[in-house]
Structure 1
Amino acid sequence: MSQTRSLDVCGLPPPEPFEQIMTALDDLPNGDLLEVRIHRQPHPLFEVLRNNGFVYNCEPTPDGVFLIRIRHQ
């Protein structure tokens, strides 16, 4: 059964959000979803995700942050 893992990196200075997201993805089993809350769109991350076999969706939330849902392709 798939699980959703959550990670909040709002307000962290670069490169901490990127590093924490990549660490979480290293431990993400196939089929699970990582939901990340972040205070800006991390465009460099998106290319890394695509190049490493992940798919993602990024949406703004009413509270002014972005929610990124990431899973293995």
Structure 2
Amino acid sequence: MGKTVELDVREDLKKKLEPFQKIMAAIQPLAQGDVFILHAPFKPVPLFPIMKKKGFSYQAEKIEDKHWKITFVKTEE
């Protein structure tokens, strides 16, 4: 079983802070089989093709209003 990294960017976005660099820093050390869980206030569709290029598959799940949980799995190096 790989490791899991979880990041919640809802507060950053509420404060109008761009979380892209924080997300990229969080996924940087991940290896094949590792999981990255992102909590966001909306479905971050623009992030999906970027993560796919970096070798991640994903599953998005709406938890409640303004809370999406996206689970990315590193499938390739």
Alpha-carbon distance, 1:68 to partner:
0.6
Q: After the TM superposition, which residues 1-73 of structure 1 pair with which residues of structure 2 at under 5 Å, given as runs?
A: 1-13=1-13, 16-62=18-64, 64-73=66-75
Q: Could you state the TM-score of these two structures normalised by the residue count of structure 1?
A: 0.81
Superposition TM-score, scaled by structure 2 size: 0.78
Q: Distance in 1 between matches of 2:42 and 2:54?
A: 21
The two structures, once aligned, show a CA RMSD in angstroms of: 1.9
Deviation at 1:44, TM superposition (A): 1.2
Residues 8-47 of structure 1 deviation map (CA, whole Å, 9 limit, x = unaligned): 1113236632221111111112211111111111111111
- Misfit runs of 4+, over 4 Å: none
Decide whether aligned partners of structure 1 residues 15 and 44 sit closer, same or farther in structure 2, where only a CA change above 3 A counts: farther
